[in-house]
Structure 1
């Protein structure tokens, strides 16, 4: 994309944050994208193009610890964050440094998976910044859904072992460095073409590769999801949720419970779609994208 602007800035606590944006010359609105775990803006170029072609300026950054942004562990493959408020602090800086100076529109926030948890925490902290929130396959609960007491014991043991060995972090049970999953075994999408393009991009730029989660990340994620559910009724802006009916990555049951607590929320389910609806086959991706564009236009009409 010829008009794509790329750069980086110093995020919260000195972590470098990578970003990209497209400024539409005749923009009808602006959209910020909050991506999911392991994702980078390099994976979202088709989505950015779709939004741009429909008249929107588009802004996206890589969350700390993934994509082209800075890593906080000696092993760059480890999924790590101290607290999800660090993601929010980076996002606020992105809003102030990059989004605000480059659009006259009050932007809308489009999120996927983990990015939805970050987005929800962001609008709780800064309700004035975005006109509305669109969440796709939101990570308001994860699978397998362990009881809190068991998760606490396992995470506590992981952190204790990590400290005892003098490590900055350790993988949680069963987690490991980045490894490409065969398409036939993947749980993200039915689209072999889009899946292959995503994996090829990550092979071309191995610095964006990210492996499994650490105990630190999992502890922070569980804390964030509990906070979102507890404060869901305080989210004052309109929320539009798109659920992937065949999702095996996030917990749709808890997701529905949280969405029901939002005071201004509409839910649409894409039957048969897997977790990454914007990476799906066209029969699933088209209705998802159509819903997103319809939701965006509603804010334009206000």
Structure 2
């Protein structure tokens, strides 16, 4: 694997971070990053970020997992971070087929094995990464347990908006206009476009400033709204997943009580039917519970680490 850039000055993670370029089977170049791979003996958390995200954003999470004895590997999905962007306008998030993200999962897993990251592996997946991760564990991803935070098992929309938006996205894709920005979204990344007040990500001003500083210092990491085709693919994939049973795998899902981005009924329906699965509400939290205030984040990380340890 070839060394890749990593912006340690804004990551605030373990000092031993190493990033590599890897290539998916369809020749898309991806960036992966590993932390604490030498000092952690209890296993490795495979961290699946959400849409718009990049590996540096999870430096603090990697520090918290390392304190429990776990290494972490994260990835820049195709179309975001420093991985290959798929449109001429790199500000728009795009994917050709949602199942292409599974090619990225395979490349990430191969990189973890090649880097000698300690086993067993566990899944920690956020938002869009939760959609990708759910498909991956249904397909037999080699992990002992899985955890999800604010998983995108559906997108928060009214029934009318969902029908209309889905129709517009589908027609636009069919007419060759799927590369255009989805309605009501912006080319500027969310944390740069929106003030902290009433943001939908976190109630922690320090964490919001942390995310803002990363995109200000390294604007090449930032990503704006999704393409119409991404929206079409995401709606189709989340609907398809809703019709599939959960795997027989230990699972814990964590959702903020003020969640406003993903579809809560889809989450509750799945977790109520997940054998041995638990749904945990983080009181007062927004979408990004891993980026919440320390008093919320500490017990959350403890619970994730406990699930991993219990399934070693």
Verify same fold: TM over 0.5: yes
2:63 is aligned with 1:53: no
Paired residues for 1:223-234 under 5 Å: 223-233=236-246
Runs of 4+ in 1 over 4 A off after TM superposition: none
Stretches of structure 2 that go unaligned for 5 or more consecutive residues are 1-13
In the other structure, the counterpart of 1:222 is 235
Cα drift, residue 26 of structure 1 = 4.6
- Of 109, 133, 144, 2:157 maps to 144
2:248 is aligned with 1:242: no
Q: Which moved more, 1:129-138 or 1:95-104?
A: 95-104
When the two structures are aligned, how many residues end up with a matched partner? 294
Contact kept, 8 Å, 2:130 with 2:148, in 1: the verdict is yes
Cα drift, residue 70 of structure 1 = 0.8
**CA deviation map 1:150-188 (0-9, x unaligned):** 333221343255x2xxx6711111222124111114111
**CA deviation map 1:219-265 (0-9, x unaligned):** 111111112211134x1211111121110111212211122232331
Once superposed, what is the RMSD of the aligned Cα atoms?
A: 1.7
In the other structure, the counterpart of 1:213 is 226
Q: Secondary structure of 2:297's partner? A: helix
In the other structure, the counterpart of 2:8 is none
Q: Which moved more, 1:21-30 or 1:54-63?
A: 21-30
Measure, in 1, the Cα distance between the counterparts of 2:113 and 2:213. Answer: 29
Q: Which moved more, 1:189-198 or 1:249-258?
A: 249-258
In the other structure, the counterpart of 2:170 is 156
Contact kept, 8 Å, 1:16 with 1:69, in 2: the verdict is yes
Q: Which moved more, 1:203-212 or 1:11-20?
A: 11-20
Contact kept, 8 Å, 2:242 with 2:266, in 1: the verdict is no
Cα drift, residue 141 of structure 1 = 1.5
Q: Which moved more, 1:286-295 or 1:115-124?
A: 286-295
Paired residues for 1:197-208 under 5 Å: 197-208=210-221
Cα drift, residue 25 of structure 1 = 2.7
In the other structure, the counterpart of 2:53 is 39
**CA deviation map 1:265-299 (0-9, x unaligned):** 11211111111111111232222222212212211
Paired residues for 1:1-302 under 5 Å: 1-22=14-35, 23-99=37-113, 101-127=115-141, 129-147=142-160, 149-160=163-174, 163=176, 169-179=179-189, 180=192, 181-233=194-246, 235-300=247-312
**CA deviation map 1:62-87 (0-9, x unaligned):** 11111111100000011111222111
Stretches of structure 1 that go unaligned for 5 or more consecutive residues are none
**CA deviation map 1:68-124 (0-9, x unaligned):** 111000000111112221111111121013346413412000011111110000111
Measure, in 2, the Cα distance between the counterparts of 1:174 and 1:84. Answer: 21
> Greater share of helix residues, 1 or 2?
1
Measure, in 1, the Cα distance between the counterparts of 2:118 and 2:266. Answer: 37
